[in-house]
Structure 1
Amino acid sequence: MDTLFNDLKQLNEEEKNILKNGHKDINQSNYTTQSEFVIESSKFLEDDSLIITRKHPRFVEFPFHKHDYIELNYVYNGKMKQKIGNQEIELKKGQMLFLNQHIEHSLEECGEDDIVINFIINPPFFDYIFQELEKETKGELINKFLFQSLFDQNRAGSYLYFKVSEVPSIQNLMGQMITEMMDKDLFTEIKMKFTMGLLFVELMKNTHYLESLEANYDYHLTNEIINYVNSSYRNASLSELSQQVNLESYNLSKFIKRNLGNTFKELVQEKRMNEAKKLLKYEDYSVESIANQIGYENISYFYRLFKKHHGLTPHQYRKRSISQIE
């Protein structure tokens, strides 16, 4: 890692020019062809490329700007201070921030030891990854929340702040991608795509490190709802959640339907059915025991729901899963 850090500390041509010009304002024409400051992916990506990594230029401030791509900021060393709206954020070593293409932010000047890696990602890059994750983790609410945050249909700016400095699996993946950035070959973009897919899997496994600082109230409330359903699905109730988020049940129900596409009851059922699948596939509990564990006392009702959701009875699903494993 010391060798990589020393390599990253070396001045690139852009940083040499910044120092030569006395830390003056950046030349926006290097980043955009528009009158507004919208950094364009075409300035960095070749026509057929979907993802690239680059070291964030040190020694100069970046005024408020947007991107026409999704950006991931990762602090390899030191820190990075930025402002999103009126919200000030200081990213520390090992932390990362996803910003969608509608967000506007400014960046303070980074010092010599502040090494930040920018991942410039065209939205189509995520199409395949999200399709595969949806197949494997169908119904998991956090997936929907993450994806909707990055691809907001209302063109609202949003971001996701992951405080994952102490998660080795995530840090190892980031290290692999940065090393790949420093030693590119013909397979670099392919390896980056696969590694980014693994990163998303690890982020979804570690959502308790997610701190959504989105100024939009909808994102805060959606995150609370997801966390509640995921942790309390066995005995979840709309009235309890209503008290927790300080919102009347009627208005909360409307909010859930509008923002997550399902009723509260459907969200809970979806979570329970997915937990039932895991228990049937990997544990030896009886079907009756599994039904009780996920919150159903009426076994017949559980059978009907399971078949409705998965097209098989619990026994049929378990039998098929065992045969697939063998």
Structure 2
Amino acid sequence: MSNTCFWSIIFTGGFFMNTRVLNILKNITSLELQQKKSHKFCEDLPSKAINANLSKQANTRVLNNFFFRNRDIYISKHNRFADYPNHTHTFLEMNYMLHGSATEIVDGKELILNAGDLLLLDIGSKHAIKALGEDDILINILFREQTISINFLSDLMRNNSVLYDFLLSHTVSNTSSQKDFLLFPKKHGSEIKETIEHIIDEYFLKRDFSNSIIKSYLSILLTQLVREYPLSNNKHSSKQQKLIIEILKTVSEKYKTITLQQLADHYSYSENYLSNLFKREAGKTFSEILTQERLIQAHNLISSTTMPVTIVMEQVGISNKTFFYKKYKQFYHSTPGKDRETLDI
């Protein structure tokens, strides 16, 4: 066995990550070198990545959607050798401990991450990270709730998982009472480690179709987390909540043509009653949820095919071009044209 292969096994626990990616991650960057000499935090972000107004209100750094200008998922290595200050963000974040260990303070609670551990952080979760040593490699995986479709969440619901509730709170509800993080400790024989490291490889190698492959891997990763860390906390869901889940699944399957009146007729309710019930249980109106699912499906087509936007609109059930562009920009903070520019074909 070559020294390179042996080092890869020691570093990753068995999965052969690309040697070039491993070298990139282990290499000490110029910013890390500054921090190693001073043991003080050096700013690693441009000013436009930090929301000044929200930071002032929250009395802490608030990182915004700057990271998603040309991609759906943003991945980086956490800079070593200095404490990272308390901060929060307007997106979901995963911290994966590739090697070594790290100490994080999340909403005042100290957490220790060891190699193979994964921490999922809520939107708005405040956290700081103690200085990492040279052998500590922490990977940040950032993604927005817009990348999670209702179809995907409905599938997770079948497992009655804690992760489903965590993600659902950002996709269809604003009334979550959950804690602001989920910690998934390493499991021996788990497929999760291999999936994450495939994501890391794809991101840093920048090969053709990498954005689409990473999005697919993220869905696989989230599903694997549900399978390996189930928690049946929905057994006592109310009749109304179960009805909303059924409606969400119908929306995910028939988003092109489904209407609230059709659903009301199917469940023998008046349209007005079902509309109010849906808003109360889901936190958004039926129209908002339907439009959201159509936009997610449209974005998938725009970012993975060369299909004209007018055809994409037709495929997802939106006929008003002005409405489509307005809602698309509100939801993705981008335009179909800009997202099409990043298509890897």
Question: Same fold by TM-score, threshold 0.5 exceeded?
Answer: yes
Shift of the alpha carbon at 1:60? 1.5
What SS is found at the alignment partner of 1:73?
strand
Shift of the alpha carbon at 1:123? 1.8
Match of 1:281 in 2: none
CA 1:149–1:76: 2 relative to 1, 3 Å:
farther
Match of 1:34 in 2: 52
Match of 2:151 in 1: 131
What SS is found at the alignment partner of 1:111?
coil
Match of 1:286 in 2: none
**Stretches of 4+ aligned residues off by more than 3 angstroms:** 2-7, 28-31, 136-140, 148-152, 154-157, 223-226
Once the two structures are superposed, residues 266-318 of structure 1 have per-residue CA deviations (whole angstroms, 9 ceiling, x without a partner) of: 99xx9xxxxxxxxxxxxxxxxxxxxxxxxxxxxxxxxxxxxx9xxxxxxxxxx
Shift of the alpha carbon at 1:51? 0.5
Please list, as runs of the form range in 1=range in 2, the aligned pairs for 1:139-178 lying within 5 A after superposition.
139-142=158-161, 144-148=164-168, 153-154=174-175, 158-178=180-200
Asked whether the 8 Å contact 2:159–2:232 carries over to 1, the reply is: no
Shift of the alpha carbon at 1:28? 7.2
Aligned amino acid, residue 35 of structure 2:
I
Shift of the alpha carbon at 1:141? 2.1
**Number of residues of Structure 1 aligned to a counterpart in Structure 2:** 219
Match of 2:124 in 1: 102
Asked whether the 8 Å contact 1:18–1:24 carries over to 2, the reply is: yes
Match of 1:45 in 2: 68
Shift of the alpha carbon at 1:69? 1.0
Measure the CA separation in 1 of the matches of 2:81 and 2:187.
24
Measure the CA separation in 1 of the matches of 2:151 and 2:193.
25
Shift of the alpha carbon at 1:29? 5.9
Asked whether the 8 Å contact 1:52–1:189 carries over to 2, the reply is: no
Report 1 or 2 for greater relative contact order, CA contacts < 8 Å, sequence distance ≥ 6: 2
Asked whether the 8 Å contact 1:149–1:159 carries over to 2, the reply is: no
Q: Out of 215, 225, 228, which is 2:233 matched to?
A: 225
CA 1:85–1:140: 2 relative to 1, 3 Å:
same
What SS is found at the alignment partner of 1:124?
helix
Shift of the alpha carbon at 1:174? 1.1
Shift of the alpha carbon at 1:80? 1.3
What's the TM-score once normalised by structure 1's chain length? 0.59
| C-alpha RMSD over aligned residues | 3.1
Question: Is 1:119–2:141 an aligned residue pair?
Answer: yes
What's the TM-score once normalised by structure 2's chain length? 0.56
Match of 1:273 in 2: none
Aligned amino acid, residue 24 of structure 2:
D
What SS is found at the alignment partner of 1:49?
coil
Larger CA Rg, structure 1 vs 2: 1
Shift of the alpha carbon at 1:7? 3.5
Please list, as runs of the form range in 1=range in 2, the aligned pairs for 1:230-309 lying within 5 A after superposition.
257=238, 261-262=241-242
Aligned amino acid, residue 216 of structure 2:
F
Measure the CA separation in 1 of the matches of 2:68 and 2:34.
22
Measure the CA separation in 2 of the matches of 1:72 and 1:40.
15
CA 1:57–1:139: 2 relative to 1, 3 Å:
same
CA 1:113–1:179: 2 relative to 1, 3 Å:
same
Match of 2:28 in 1: 11
Once the two structures are superposed, residues 160-189 of structure 1 have per-residue CA deviations (whole angstroms, 9 ceiling, x without a partner) of: 111134243111111111112221123221
Match of 1:285 in 2: none
Measure the CA separation in 2 of the matches of 1:153 and 1:12.
40
Measure the CA separation in 2 of the matches of 1:183 and 1:66.
28
Match of 1:302 in 2: none
Measure the CA separation in 2 of the matches of 1:167 and 1:40.
36
Asked whether the 8 Å contact 1:54–1:181 carries over to 2, the reply is: no
Aligned amino acid, residue 182 of structure 2:
L
Aligned amino acid, residue 50 of structure 2:
T
Aligned amino acid, residue 79 of structure 1:
S
Asked whether the 8 Å contact 1:39–1:68 carries over to 2, the reply is: yes
Asked whether the 8 Å contact 1:150–1:158 carries over to 2, the reply is: no
Asked whether the 8 Å contact 1:149–1:158 carries over to 2, the reply is: no
Question: Is 1:207–2:229 an aligned residue pair?
Answer: yes
Gaps of 5+ in 2: 1-7, 12-18, 56-60, 247-266, 268-345
Aligned amino acid, residue 128 of structure 2:
S
What SS is found at the alignment partner of 2:145?
coil
Shift of the alpha carbon at 1:16? 3.1
Shift of the alpha carbon at 1:68? 1.2
CA 1:12–1:25: 2 relative to 1, 3 Å:
closer
Measure the CA separation in 2 of the matches of 1:204 and 1:29.
33
Measure the CA separation in 2 of the matches of 1:149 and 1:133.
11
What SS is found at the alignment partner of 1:113?
coil
CA 1:28–1:112: 2 relative to 1, 3 Å:
closer
Measure the CA separation in 2 of the matches of 1:171 and 1:85.
26
What SS is found at the alignment partner of 1:19?
helix
